Structure 1
């Protein structure tokens, strides 16, 4: 039987330049339904977007609340859902895999830095190998590479980490914040699918990023932030139409 994870993994392969897999990032069940109804074949939750929807700063969401949010999103749609679970919340690989599967996720993003500091790449690769061993083929593992976001601009450092992570069993790597100009170099040096982040309505289009080497496109919290801006505009219109309402004093 073909599982959702099988379907999700297959979406990453056989793609041609200019036709990357575009994965919108839902932050709650309602946004997930909107993206699924629009015809996207799969979704990928953003940790920062989910954090904002729950009232937390990025990186401050308790693990239980993040997994609960992912579960609500996965239950709301029929398409595969991958989950950004940051650096794994300190969970042992077996428990991390179990919690992802319980939430209904078919994959996960896992970062290689914690508290703003890059992890040792070989130690992180060993940890990823343990995650892969615990998951088998039940999860698609997207290994985020944080070199660029942590100030290491040498593409070679990202390529070296990618090789270690792919060797450990990662299905895809994500050199977050990699400059557009180095994408062809990264593509040439990395085996397997490459995730690239895009900004909604700004910069190169998903098709253009695909032409530069992206296998799949995600948006981080960009879609949630754009929706928040739209909501602010609606709130401003309402205020202009009705005027601010002052709270009334309770009566005896």
Structure 2
């Protein structure tokens, strides 16, 4: 029997189960094509990337509107059978009431989880005060609970990304977000074994997400040994694709050479993959 496509409730249930034990990779596609390819590799869940999506739209990161972000989430949820965790930036709102409304709208897209940052976007004052950040997290929690409570809430402490690499402050913020209702905790920019171990210990018993930026960092096996529950890559896959594209394009523009095309995937391979994928999805939709 051909399986039918999973429902939103199915995806959310599976996503929560992934956070109960073990360590899993949650890579970040930036469009439907990249999401479907990642699904074909056997990943169990995916997360959006605000930066990767923004670059694909010709914009810098953190410059899009809430409506644009919500439309993207709708598309990504509909485009894959895997649970989607939304990179929901700082909730696209200035106050807690606005965060609650944004989260309500995000839940309606069918995402299995969403993250709320404590960054303000203001270079002069890059983080919300701890009291304000907690209020915003609590508003997100309440919005999820009103919608049924099955969407996973990720609390993000942005200290290391905004020039305040204070591990004690980071852990204190994560603990406060856990008390405010966050199900999973995330401190992007924490990279060393010592930093990661301290965050995992400080956040316990909540599961922790770690961001991998580039080649040469800790492996999935390393992360598992440190007690990390999930590992994401943010915009790194998108940056990898952009890096190959930019190098190849510059060679053509500056030297008239086409050596940058050497590692390109073949059109036949891509067409075959997406043709097969489309046929499978059509069959599952018909069940």
Contact 1:12 1:215 in 2 (8 A): yes
Which residue in the other structure is 1:163 paired with?
175
Residues 1:54 and 2:57 are matched in the alignment: yes
Q: Distance in 2 between matches of 1:31 and 1:205?
A: 22
Residues 1:196 and 2:210 are matched in the alignment: yes
> How much has 1:86 moved relative to structure 2?
0.6
> How much has 1:34 moved relative to structure 2?
0.6
Q: Distance in 2 between matches of 1:130 and 1:195?
A: 22
TM-score (norm 2): 0.77
Change (3 A) 1:138 1:92: farther
Which residue in the other structure is 1:3 paired with?
10
Which residue in the other structure is 2:279 paired with?
none
Residues 1:176 and 2:201 are matched in the alignment: no
Match of 1:95 among 90, 93, 101: 101
Q: Map Cα deviations across residues 60-110 of structure 1 (whole Å, 9 max, x no partner).
A: 112211111121111111110011011011172342122212322111111
Contact 1:82 1:108 in 2 (8 A): yes
What 5-or-longer segments of structure 2 have no aligned partner? Answer: 1-6, 260-287
RMSD: 2.1
Q: Distance in 1 between matches of 2:141 and 2:111?
A: 15
Residues 1:212 and 2:226 are matched in the alignment: yes
Which residue in the other structure is 1:240 paired with?
257
> How much has 1:217 moved relative to structure 2?
0.5
TM-score (norm 1): 0.87
> How much has 1:187 moved relative to structure 2?
1.4
Count residues with an aligned counterpart.
Answer: 238
Q: Map Cα deviations across residues 107-148 of structure 1 (whole Å, 9 max, x no partner).
A: 111110112411111221122112111112231111110122
Contact 1:50 1:66 in 2 (8 A): no
Which residue in the other structure is 2:142 paired with?
133
Residues 1:119 and 2:135 are matched in the alignment: no
> How much has 1:40 moved relative to structure 2?
0.5
Contact 1:26 1:73 in 2 (8 A): no
What 5-or-longer segments of structure 1 have no aligned partner? Answer: 243-252
Which residue in the other structure is 1:246 paired with?
none
Q: Map Cα deviations across residues 46-69 of structure 1 (whole Å, 9 max, x no partner).
A: 111111111110111122111111
Residues 1:145 and 2:157 are matched in the alignment: yes
Contact 1:198 1:206 in 2 (8 A): no
Which residue in the other structure is 1:44 paired with?
47
Q: Distance in 1 between matches of 2:242 and 2:58?
A: 13
